[in-house]
Chains A and B, each alone.
Chain A
């Protein structure tokens, strides 16, 4: 390969230009990332081993694992942990199932399909702050449309704020409303990238629509499904804004903490109770919960995958 500029080692071994300037190109990203992600992340671990207050941030007292011991013996933590798991399940499992069904329907040749696609994405464009305020009114026990509809079909009114399960269902509904359409479009994109020959082969074998869905669409979608499971798991483990605003901005998760999540607990410990060390311990625990939840979910999803089409979570990159 003849080049005008002085050859470097990289150039001799590759056809593409190799250049030191590449470091300058990736530097801004890594600068932002180091300063605002890695450093805070590691410092959180350090803070979690100390007694720290906002006013005296630099004069912390070493506690060792004291904050963690305190946390794990605290009923508030276990309440928040349970709520995070149950709200996580109620908000993601029906959501992803519905998204899959909607994507399947949208994959038919429909008239007005652009309208339908934009319509189901409107909730995604609505901020969680706005969506929560709206649903707070819809679920209001006296003024809300939901209880009015229940009354219409002669069902008793439900206390969507004070009782544990109804409140958790209400919070989960907000999450489900905002994200179902988005996930449906992700699935739709996945469906449209499935090799058409597989459908032809299935037709030749006499497969009906359901069998096509079951034996061609689902296996082809496995990587996409796994991706959405991971993203939803991470989102569910960090749930914060919806339950915060569902109790008018108070981080207690309802008067009995009936929908307090780990994210809310962390906020309450740090910003309401001024116990930054304890809040940091909660943050690291949340991170470990996320890692474990992602591992469990991907393992479960993989076990269901008989043909082994789920090669890996790792994106298709040549490293």
Chain B
């Protein structure tokens, strides 16, 4: 093994890494504290460091103020459909680019990589008008469709399939008379499953946390959870505890998923970094 990873950490290493971990987690923990104390209590000379059961009452107040539950349901719908679409369509396109020969494939792949440089933000105005014209403004479909498959996903799957599926396997199947679709389903998909899982996790997280486009195209009547946070602070003289409770309520689901799958997500991001 390389010295870099063989050497154990010194005590100082542990201290620094622990401080970084605390800084990463503390704001999330402190949100629970802020969500259980009134403005007056927070302004005390000695701010509280522990949560109280007032937290639950404040969550209730937040739910009365903002459509958080609707936002959560909508976010689950959006993130699930975007993830399913992205994984399916990007794997298919990635397979074509990695293993099939067709005219213009090089040019099309270059085009695909080039699009990663064009930010979606660039075109929000015509995109909004387009959605309004086809009657989708305010609908979840307006959020789902533009991200249904991404250039990053296509490129990521292309790189993985090119390396993970041996040419000989494709060739053998082809000689045996299997159609490309047959090859895709019975050779490529089983082999590409790990990369598909990684892409699924990254896509779900991105879709769940997406903010810019949803806030433009969705209204507070039919929001994703990120958009529904907006309704928390709009009341007269809002209590920060209610805002915090609502924010936490809408964030906890993804944090729980993250705590359970954290190891795989970390592996996925690191794998994606090397492959991409």
Contact = CB atoms under 8 A, between A and B. Distances in A.
Contacts of B34: 134, 137
B56 to A, nearest CB: 19
A69 interface: no
B21 A120 contact: yes
Interface in A185-199: 185-186, 188-194, 196, 199
Interface stretch (A78-86, A142-150, A163-171, A300-308): A142-150
Given A22-B180, A28-B92, A108 B254 contact: no
A203 B3 CA distance: 9
Contacts of A16: 99-101, 167, 170-171, 174
Contacts of A224: 273
Contact of B8 (A41, A109, A138, A240): A109
Contacts of B125: 40, 43-44, 47, 270, 276, 279-280, 283
A106 interface: yes
Q: A26, A38, A115: which has the most chain B beta carbons within 10 Å?
A: A26
Contacts of B1: 196
Tell me whether chain B's interface is mostly helix, strand or loop, or mixed: helix
Interface in A102-131: 102, 105-110, 114-131
A238 B276 contact: no
A28 B84 CA distance: 14
Tell me whether chain A's interface is mostly helix, strand or loop, or mixed: helix
A278 B243 CA distance: 35
Closest 3 CB pairs of A and B: A40-B123, A18-B101, A118-B262
Interface of A: 2-5, 10-11, 13-23, 25-26, 28-30, 32-33, 35-41, 43-44, 47, 57, 102, 105-110, 114-131, 133-135, 137-138, 140, 142-143, 145, 148, 177, 181-182, 185-186, 188-194, 196, 199-200, 203, 209, 212, 217, 224, 234, 238, 240-241, 248-249, 263, 266-267, 270-271, 276, 279-280, 283-284, 286-287, 290, 294, 314-315, 317, 319
